[in-house]
Amino acid sequence: MKSLLWALTGFTLLILVFIIVDISVKGLPQVTPLFLFQDPQDMGRAGGIFSTIVATAYITALALLIASPLGVGTAIYLTEYTREGAATRIIRFGAECLAGVPSIILGLFGFVLFVMKLGFGWSILSGGLTLAIMVLPIIIRTSEEAIKAVPQEYRLACYSLGLSQWQAITRIVLPAALPGITTGVMLSVGRSLGETAVLLFTAGAALRTPLSIFDSGRTMAVHFYILAREGLSMPNAYGTAAVLVISILLINLTAYTLMQRFMRRYS
């Protein structure tokens, strides 16, 4: 029985390895500096992915800019300003439920609120706002863990010296929790990079490099989806996939090691 279990586990690992190897072998040769810095040509049949990289960076940065203060603020409120009670349970429940909303529903929501009702149209702004809502639970959860991990003695020492609660938080607790919070940000970036359903319906699929936040833009994931679906270019599809997968893997790996080292420091 044990050997069957190990075989199945090996098989699962094989799937993972297969995915990474196939993408790398067929995709990495495509990833030349030219590929990275050239815009897509002929609807993506030729050329590179530069404008999509810019759009991805733009949207992800905007999403994090919005979600980080909200998420870290929520975490601070939950850990420092309240005791466990109805309020904290509602807030946490809200965050958990939000984490469970499927991306297509978020796409629908972003579409009706930001693109249509608020009139932002298909844009970096609509995409960033919707993505912010998607990553908010991740930031809340990791920030809360990070802040909780900071030893209570630090706060006591600060209060004994006549620091106010806010001073203790901003001068000692938050800086100490920063590695953990950064992990949450990195995990959010990893999540955003792979997101397609949300962005297809909020940021659109324009091929040009977006300049203002009201411009539409196509992220790497959306671009990859279109290339694959329309069968426009296998090599370019693989190349885009390689950039995506390798970036996400690297980010998640860094986030993971950061979190390990951070947790070890405080336990």
Partner 1 sequence: MNQVTQFKLRIEHLSFFYGDFQALKDISLEVRGHEIFGLMGPAKSGKSTLLRVLNRMSDLIPGARVEGKAWLDGLDILAPDCDLVALRRRVGLVLSKPVPLPRSILENLTLAPRLAGKRDAGELAALAEAALKAAQLWDEVKDRLRDSALKLSGGQQQRLCLARTLAMEPEVILLDEPTSGLDPISTAKIEETLFQLKKNYTIILVSNNTKQIARATDRVAFLLMSRLVEVGDTHQVFTVPQDKRTDDYISGRFG
Partner 2 sequence: MRTQGKFIERVLFLLALSAVSSLILITVFIFMEGLPLIVHTGLGNFILSTHWAPTKGHFGIFAMIVSSILVTLGALALGVPLGLSCAITLAEFAPSPVRRVLKPALELLAGIPSVVYGFLGVVWLVPLIREHLGGPGLSLLAASIILGIMILPTVISISIDALTAVPDIYREGSIALGATRWQTVRRVVLPAASSGIVTAIILGMGRAVGETMAVIMVAGNALKLPTSVLDPVRTLTSNIALELAYAAGRHREALFATGIVLFLIIMLLNFSATLITRRR
User: Contacts with partner 1 in 56-115 (CB under 8 A)?
Assistant: 83
State in angstroms the smallest separation of the CB of 20 from partner 1.
38
State in angstroms the smallest separation of the CB of 140 from partner 2.
6
225 part of the interface to partner 2, by CB under 8 A:
yes
Q: Kindly identify the residues of this chain, within the stretch 105-164, that bind partner 2 according to CB under 8 A.
A: 105-109, 111-113, 133, 136-137, 140, 164
Q: Kindly identify the residues of this chain, within the stretch 71-110, that bind partner 2 according to CB under 8 A.
A: 73-74, 76-78, 81, 90-91, 93-98, 100-109
3-state secondary structure of 216: coil
Q: Kindly identify the residues of this chain, within the stretch 137-166, that bind partner 1 according to CB under 8 A.
A: 153-154, 156-164
Closer of 24 and 88 to partner 1 (Cβ): 88
Q: Which does 140 bind (CB under 5 to 8 A by kind): partner 2, partner 1, none?
A: partner 2
263 part of the interface to partner 1, by CB under 8 A:
no
Closer of 50 and 154 to partner 1 (Cβ): 154
Using CA atoms of 192, 187, 179, 154 in order, give the dihedral in degrees to the nearest 10: 100
Long-range contacts, stretch 93-101, CB < 8 angstroms, 24+ apart: 95/136, 95/137, 95/140, 95/141, 96/137, 98/133, 98/136, 98/137, 99/137, 99/138, 99/141, 101/134
Buried-state track 184-219, b at ≥16 Cβ within 10 A, e below 16 = bbbbbbbbbbebbbbbbbbbbbebebbeebebbbbb
Q: Which does 225 bind (CB under 5 to 8 A by kind): partner 1, partner 2, none?
A: partner 2
Contact 130, 62 (CB under 8 A): no
Burial (CB < 10 A; 0-12, 13-18, 19+), residue 13, is exposed
Tell me the two tokens of residue 244.
């995506």
**Choice from 167, 230, 234, 257 touching partner 1 (CB under 8 A):** 167
State in angstroms the smallest separation of the CB of 150 from partner 1.
9
Dist CA 88 CA 177 (whole Å) = 20
Amino acid identity, position 117:
K
Task: Give, in order, the Cα–Cα distances in Å from 73 to each of 82, 140, 170, 172.
Answer: 13, 8, 11, 16
Site track for partner 1 across 207-246, x = CB under 8 A: ----------------------------------------
Q: Which does 4 bind (CB under 5 to 8 A by kind): partner 1, partner 2, none?
A: partner 2
| Residue 87: CB atoms within 10 Å | 13
Tell me the two tokens of residue 94.
């809200």
Dist CA 134 CA 122 (whole Å) = 18
State in angstroms the smallest separation of the CB of 44 from partner 2.
14
Amino acid identity, position 170:
T
State in angstroms the smallest separation of the CB of 92 from partner 1.
19
Q: Which does 196 bind (CB under 5 to 8 A by kind): partner 1, partner 2, none?
A: partner 2
43 part of the interface to partner 2, by CB under 8 A:
no
Residues at the site binding partner 1, with contacts judged by CB under 8 A: 83, 153-154, 156-164, 167, 171-172, 175-176
